[in-house]
Amino acid sequence: MSSSSTTDWPRRLAFFLLLLAPAMAAEAHDINITGVARVILQESEPGSYRLSIVDSQVPPLFNIERILPERCAGLPPAAFAYRFSCEPRLNVDDSLIFPWGLSGVLVIANWLEGDGVTAYIPGDGAEIEVPLTQLKAGAGSWTTLAGRYLVIGAEHILFGIDHLLFVLGLLLLMQGFWKLVQTVTAFTIAHSVTLACAVLGVFPVPGAPIEVLIALSIVFLAREIVMGQRGSATLIHRKPWLVAFLFGLLHGFGFAGALGELGLSDADIPLALLFFNIGVELGQVGFICALLAAYYAINRVGRDMLFSIERGLAYGLGSIATFWFIERLPALVLV
């Protein structure tokens, strides 16, 4: 062996160990490398839970009750796990607060009623709050669930401007009380069908294409309103319930997109879906009643003023919806 190779072997060994060190550290002390803790929450029986921390380098929880809701109590720990109980059981209104200044925590929750659910929750540098709604916890009592999703449904329709403008377009398109009833009923049935199918997993919710088509549906309504004001009545004017049903199918997918983001256990989906839909209908009926009251008030002032307002609304609907349509088109490329 040459003298140069003899003198170089310490440097070669040091270089090899330098390359190996990150892999060794990642295997033994993963929390130091990623800044993410891994936690398993296991519901062993109704109201009884085990909390296991996978990473050995995570600071221990000296007082388990500090991270739990007030109604929960710590139990004697088991091997490699903390134990606690809650009465009533943990639900979507609860959170676990870990006193760790880490980047985040990866939580696996295993509930009695279903399969495991995994969620990554980022930290704020001082603590990590884990809302159980992201882990599909149960809703608690059925009255709590019903009230929550009733409000969410009403808020979704009342703050969903594109849905409200579509309803406004339907009202401007039709004439007569019975056509109003038929059209609103058709819209309700249609979006209820697709909402249920999407939430229950029968059909996926194609977000970007649906948003583009919803904008296009309002453009179409605006055009039909203007054509009717010019005296060119079509099948849509004679049977507005038909267009309400067809486009209502699209809007149902739009509602499902909002409902799907809220985190539901499988057992709670049917009841939540029912009351979310009822909330949507209550909000929709309230909006229609407000529009009808405004219509009759303006009609008393003067028919010419009412016609001018309707024409302005039709062009306004078309302009806003066209802007939305163009704005949402790039999202199709990113799907």
Tell me which residues of the chain have a pLDDT lower than 70.
Answer: 1-34, 114-115, 140, 205-206, 235, 257-265, 334-335
Q: How far is CA 31 from the centre of its chain?
A: 30
Contact 165, 225 (CB under 8 A): no
**pLDDT tens digits for 280-299?**
889 988 998 998 888 888 88
Helix axes 240-260, 161-173, angle to 10 degrees: 170
Q: How far is CA 285 from CA 181, 199, 288, 310, in A?
A: 11, 23, 5, 20
pTM: 0.66
Tell me, what's the pLDDT at 51?
A: 94
In terms of C-beta density within 10 A (0-12 exposed, 13-18 middle, 19 or more buried), how is residue 24 classed? Answer: exposed
Contact 235, 173 (CB under 8 A): no
**pLDDT tens digits for 202-235?**
777 667 888 888 899 899 888 888 888 877 777 6
Tell me, what's the pLDDT at 137?
A: 77
In terms of C-beta density within 10 A (0-12 exposed, 13-18 middle, 19 or more buried), how is residue 189 classed? Answer: middle
